[in-house]
Amino acid sequence: MRLQLDLLGFKDYKEFLNSSLWADFRSRLRKAHNCSKCARCGSTEGINLHHMSYKALLDPANIAVLCRDCHKIQHTKVGINYGLKNSEQLKSQLKKETKEQNKKKKLKRLIDSQKKDKA
Ligand SMILES: [Zn+2]
Ligand SMILES: [Zn+2]
């Protein structure tokens, strides 16, 4: 859990859940998948998104759509894989974007460091 939060620049899971990164990911996930129904019992009330592992916070296959009750159960029992199926398309798209963002960040850092050299 520590590792990926650090990597993404968050100090804890709560901060991640309150971030625009997560909000954006969540809305895209909802568009790409039908996230209105519990994967365990089929309920449509009190729907939560659950991370099956905290090592892959932005991997759709690692996200389970569960109702509040099933979410609780999932946290007390050793998890069954309720991860989103057919998530490869969104996953590869996100991967591509992350790569591009990293490229841009690197480029920006390079430009910034060159500016510093001149100054
Ligand atoms: Zn349920
Ligand atoms: Zn959970």
Q: pLDDT (tens digit, 9 = 90+) per residue, 19-67?
A: 999 999 999 999 999 899 999 999 999 999 999 888 889 999 999 999 9
From residue 58, give the alpha-carbon distance in Å to each of 30, 65, 73. 13, 14, 22
Whether 28 maps to a domain, the answer reads yes
Q: Which residues form the domain of 62?
A: 2-86
pLDDT tens, residue by residue, 76-104: 866 567 777 777 778 888 888 888 888 88
CB-CB contact of 60 with 32 (8 Å)? yes
Would 100 be classed as within a structural domain? no
Task: State the distance from the centre of ligand 2 to the C-alpha of 63, rounded, in angstroms.
Answer: 9
Q: Is residue 99 part of a domain?
A: no
Q: Is residue 109, in this structure, part of any structural domain at all?
A: no
- Specify the 3-state DSSP secondary structure of 13: helix
DSSP state of 55: T
- At position 112, the amino acid (one-letter code) is D
Ligand at minimal distance from the CA of 67 is: 1
Count of domains for the chain: 1
Task: Yes or no: say if 84 and 49 are a contact pair by the CB < 8 Å rule.
Answer: no
Residue 98 lies in a domain: no
Ligand nearest to the CA of 64: 2
User: Ligand 1 centroid to 43 CA: how many Å?
Assistant: 5
Ligand with minimal distance to 75 CA: 2
Q: Per the domain annotation, does 113 fall within a domain?
A: no
Q: Report if residue 67 sits inside a domain.
A: yes
Whose tokens are 């089929």? That residue is 42
> If you measure from the C-alpha of residue 65 to the centroid of ligand 1, how many angstroms do you get, rounded to a whole number?
9
Whole-structure pTM value: 0.68
Residue 16 is assigned to a structural domain of this protein: yes
